[in-house]
């Protein structure tokens, strides 16, 4: 993964097409969470200080291939102005003569933010002509959007056929280094933690990780499909019946490889996620009319013990409905345990990142990934189009 870096490029006076992930949540006409904007600042500032003229591009939301004011990047431009301390003009579109004129007139050390790439259906179609139109705006290409690198879209993959050499931004480089450390040269023991709602979203990841990890801890809604595979009654907890046999096979695979799979031994149950309180019960004693919404204290203690001595930890997915205080203790407690074990830790996925922030330990995590789907696909061992398209460092 020795990819060409933006630091390897001579940027003075060059127009740089910088593909970033500015897909941030909006509220009341402004940016509700600027984490992703802050993540791209090092690359932006490097380019501007090097005298580049930056053409900044991103998608926002799912506007279904046509202009929609609700998904305009105008709030992003405003917040970036505040973060950078310089004007961030927003182009009226991302392609076309007017935008090309704006791009050509940029002064060194200045930037232009393109309007939402997904206002054009050709972006998601990885259309060559659209990619050429984007490429006409710049002299070189830098991709800092690891979170979108699993998508073969025009601004991520096709554009690299027309702007050469395609280089990695500083955030992209950090993501690849952190995840590569897990896949290629992990310090052992390596412990993976998986949570979230559905087994179907992560079954491929489970199977892939079983070839790499020394232990796998499973919590969240997905754990109940595994518990059902062991013959436990799980009440009204989330179960995917069509995945029970696959979960059973995964556990058999772990047994053959000598990999410990840690499952909940108790859970916090309630009528629904909206309940004002819950109570912990053993997984063999879940009442039929209730559902499990968090790992219980015994499970938290066992998972904490399983982390002791770990040298590398990778975590994706919360242990329960942590957004609700009655069901947050397991996830937040595990976040603190990950930090306390002293291992090199990598956390990815929006909910998991939100959890480590809520627990107040984000700054003590080894690496917090901005990616969700790309994070999972990379750990599964898949080739990400946006990474494969980058030039190798010679």
Per-residue pLDDT for 166 more than 90?
yes
Annotated catalytic residue within 51, 128, 282, 373: 373
Q: What is the CATH number of domain 186-379?
A: 3.40.50.1260
The CA–CA distances, whole Å, from 136 to 17, 151, 162, 168, 204 equal 10, 22, 9, 20, 39
SS3 229: helix
CA dihedral 80, 85, 87, 92 (to 10 degrees): 0
Residue pLDDT, tens place only, 136-148: 999 999 999 999 9
Residue pLDDT, tens place only, 241-273: 999 999 999 999 999 999 999 999 999 999 999
Domain with CATH 3.40.50.1260 in the chain: 6-171, 186-379
- Which H or E run contains 190? strand 190-194
Per-residue pLDDT for 5 more than 80?
yes
List phi, psi (to 5°) of 26: -115, 150
SS3 316: strand
Annotated catalytic residue within 350, 364, 366, 372: 350
In Å, how far from its chain's centre is CA 122?
24
On average, the pLDDT of the chain sits at: 95
Annotated catalytic residue within 36, 118, 202, 329: 36
Could you tell me the two tokens for 364?
A: 């003590």
pLDDT at 38 (0 to 100):
94
pLDDT at 290 (0 to 100):
98
Long-range contacts (CB closer than 8 Å, 24 or more residues apart) made by 247-252: 247/199, 247/203, 250/203, 250/206, 250/207, 250/210, 250/226, 251/226
Q: Give mean pLDDT, residues 289-303.
A: 98
The question of whether 364 is a catalytic residue gets the answer no
Q: What is the pTM of this model?
A: 0.89
The question of whether 36 is a catalytic residue gets the answer yes
Q: What is the CATH number of domain 6-171?
A: 3.40.50.1260
Pair 16, 140: CB distance under 8 Å: yes
Closest CA to 370 of 148, 209, 117: 148
Annotated catalytic residue within 14, 198, 236, 311: 198
The question of whether 64 is a catalytic residue gets the answer no
The question of whether 51 is a catalytic residue gets the answer no
Q: Give mean pLDDT, residues 360-381.
A: 90
Per-residue pLDDT for 149 more than 60?
yes
């Amino acid at each position: 993964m020795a990819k060409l870096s933006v630091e390897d490029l001579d940027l003075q006076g060059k127009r740089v097409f910088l593909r970033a992930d500015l897909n941030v949540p909006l509220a009341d006409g402004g940016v509700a969470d600027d984490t992703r904007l802050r993540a791209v600042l090092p690359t932006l500032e490097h380019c501007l200080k090097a005298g580049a003229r930056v053409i900044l591009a991103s998608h926002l939301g799912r506007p279904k291939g046509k202009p929609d004011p609700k998904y305009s990047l105008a709030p992003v431009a405003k917040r970036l102005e505040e973060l950078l301390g310089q004007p961030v003009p927003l182009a009226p579109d991302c392609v076309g003569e007017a935008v090309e004129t704006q791009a050509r007139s940029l002064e060194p050390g200045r930037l232009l933010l393109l309007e939402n790439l997904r206002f054009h259906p050709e972006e998601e179609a990885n259309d060559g002509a659209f990619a050429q139109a984007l490429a006409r705006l710049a002299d070189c290409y830098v991709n800092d959007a690891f979170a979108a690198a699993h998508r073969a879209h025009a601004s991520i993959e096709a554009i690299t056929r027309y702007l050469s050499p395609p280089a990695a931004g500083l955030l992209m480089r950090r993501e690849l280094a952190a995840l590569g450390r897990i896949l290629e040269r992990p310090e052992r023991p390596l412990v993976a933690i998986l949570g979230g709602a559905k087994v179907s979203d992560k079954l491929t990841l489970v199977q892939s990780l079983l070839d790499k990890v020394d232990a796998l801890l499973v919590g969240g809604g997905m754990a109940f499909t595994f518990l059902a595979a062991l013959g436990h009654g799980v009440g009204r907890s989330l179960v995917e019946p069509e995945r029970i046999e696959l979960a059973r096979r995964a556990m058999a695979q772990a047994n053959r490889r000598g990999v410990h799979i840690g499952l909940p031994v108790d859970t916090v149950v309630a009528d629904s996620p909206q309940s004002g309180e819950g109570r912990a019960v053993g997984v063999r004693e879940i009442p039929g009319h209730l559902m499990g919404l968090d790992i219980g204290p015994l499970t938290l203690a066992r998972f904490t013990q399983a982390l002791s001595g770990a040298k590398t930890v990778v975590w994706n997915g919360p242990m329960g409905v942590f957004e609700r205080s009655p069901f947050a203790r397991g996830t937040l407690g595990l976040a603190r345990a990950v930090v306390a074990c002293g291992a090199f830790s990598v956390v990815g996925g929006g909910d998991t990142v939100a959890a480590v922030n809520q627990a107040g330990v984000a700054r003590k995590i080894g690496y917090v990934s901005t990616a969700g789907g790309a994070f999972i696909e990379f750990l599964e061992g898949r080739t990400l189009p946006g990474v494969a398209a980058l030039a190798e460092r010679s």
